[in-house]
Amino acid sequence: MELHEFQAKSLLSRYAIASPKGQVALTPDEAELAARDCGSRALFVKAQVQAGDRAQAGGVIRAASAAETRLAAAQLLGRKLVTAQTGRRGHTIKRVLVETGVAAVREFYVAMRIDALAGGLELLAGTGGTGIEARAAALPSAIESVPFGLAGERHPGDTMKLCERIGLAGDTADKFRAVVDSIHRAFVDNDASLIEINPLALTGDGEFVALDAKLVLDDNALFRHPDLAALRDDDVVDEIELEAQRHQINFVQMDGDIGVVVNGAGLGLATLDMLRAAGGSPANFMDIRTTAKSLDIAHGIGLVLDKPHIKVLLVNVFGGGMQPCDTIIEGLGIAFRRKGRVLPVVLRVTGNNEQLARLRLANFNFPKIECSDMWQAVERAVAIARGRT
């Protein structure tokens, strides 16, 4: 679960990580009042959407007075902001953060994340500012890293050496290490999966201030943090994905033209990877849970069939003990009867009740191609989507 910037800064303030003075506003009038309370002639009005690259997309506006702040808020509120991280649909701006400007001597990037391969945490640091992803991709050495154990253990001197590599020394390095320790405590205390501060400004007074912050929490641990669970912004949750969850299906919408029906998260991800490798473009991710009944499955497949740009449906099913093949095929047939849409179907069906599933398939009157393995099924689906027979 990702927090908004203002929520992340509020949480990090509990760990003595400073951020600029600011207030959240839902209306232009509230933004003007927030600006007057800030008492500064250097102000920023920032769209509060859960995506990066807001400044490049026009989601951050500088203002020099309360009146200008009001105008900036009016320009942003209600607008749909589209960035590289939102996709083409974008996010509607429903609130803005009005903050005082901070004069930075230097800007840093600092983050902590889970390193799944090492089974621990990883600290990342480097020069901050916009375009950090592109800069890191072009020059991986631009971002330094230090491994942390799950309890925060690290080799003596690792953080000091990191400070030296990013050009910090003396009292400034000590203060940076204090920020790192605070990030680590916040990470562990709140079951985070990512804390990212970019930029972390070094002011002329030698203090560090978080100008922007991103904090992602582990959904599976939210039962331990009811206060944080209450911060979830349901406005940014896709209604279709929520509907699928109510029917025992994990579903993520995508922009492609190949509908995907799969049982199992790992099999689903592998199917998407293979579609991309074959030159195809998936329209969705689907993971049919073992608890889903045939009517649940029909509802989930119906969500895919509702997409008018879908050209073919790829069904990749591995029947297990709790979710046999025939249950999924029955759901497929029900979905087609409900929707009344004729669409080519490429199937790879194997596992428990495989033969019974094929008997059910024979009763369904829709064009279908059965394949013996995943790659063959993927290639056929991509060929149909691209207009090749």
Nearest C-alpha neighbor of 208 from the set 244, 237, 181, 238:
181
SS3 248: coil
Tokens at residue 108, please?
Answer: 């840093």
Same domain, 136 and 197: yes
DSSP string, 198-228: EEEEEETTS-EEESSEEEEE-GGGGGG-HHH
Who contacts 312 (Cβ-Cβ below 8 Å, separation ≥6)? Answer: 257, 258, 259, 343, 344, 345, 346, 381, 384, 385
Instruction: Specify the pLDDT at position 236.
Output: 58
Q: Which residue has the tokens 């991986």?
A: 140
Residue 187 domain flag: yes
- What's the pTM? 0.69
**Choice between 120 and 176, residue whose per-residue pLDDT is larger:** 176
Q: Which of 202, 229, 256 finishes a domain?
A: 229
Q: What percent of the chain has pLDDT over 90?
A: 66
Instruction: Specify the pLDDT at position 312.
Output: 96
Residue 375 domain flag: yes
Same domain, 257 and 377: yes
Residue 341 domain flag: yes
pLDDT digits (tens, 9 = 90+) for 268-319: 999 999 999 999 999 999 999 998 999 999 999 999 999 999 999 999 999 8
Same domain, 90 and 25: yes
Query: Mean pLDDT over residues 207-212, rounded?
Result: 96
Q: Which residues are known to be catalytic?
A: 109, 196
CA–CA separation, 318 and 153 (whole Å): 42
Angle at which helices 325-339 and 294-305 cross, to 10° = 50
Domain coverage including residue 192: 104-229
pLDDT digits (tens, 9 = 90+) for 325-356: 999 999 999 999 999 888 999 999 999 999 99
Instruction: Specify the pLDDT at position 171.
Output: 94
Same domain, 269 and 370: yes
Nearest C-alpha neighbor of 212 from the set 115, 113, 101:
101
Total domains in the fold of the chain: 3
- The residues pairing with 314 across neighbouring beta strands, listed in sequence order, are 260, 346
Instruction: Specify the pLDDT at position 148.
Output: 85
Query: Mean pLDDT over residues 156-163, rounded?
Result: 84
pLDDT at 235 over 70: no
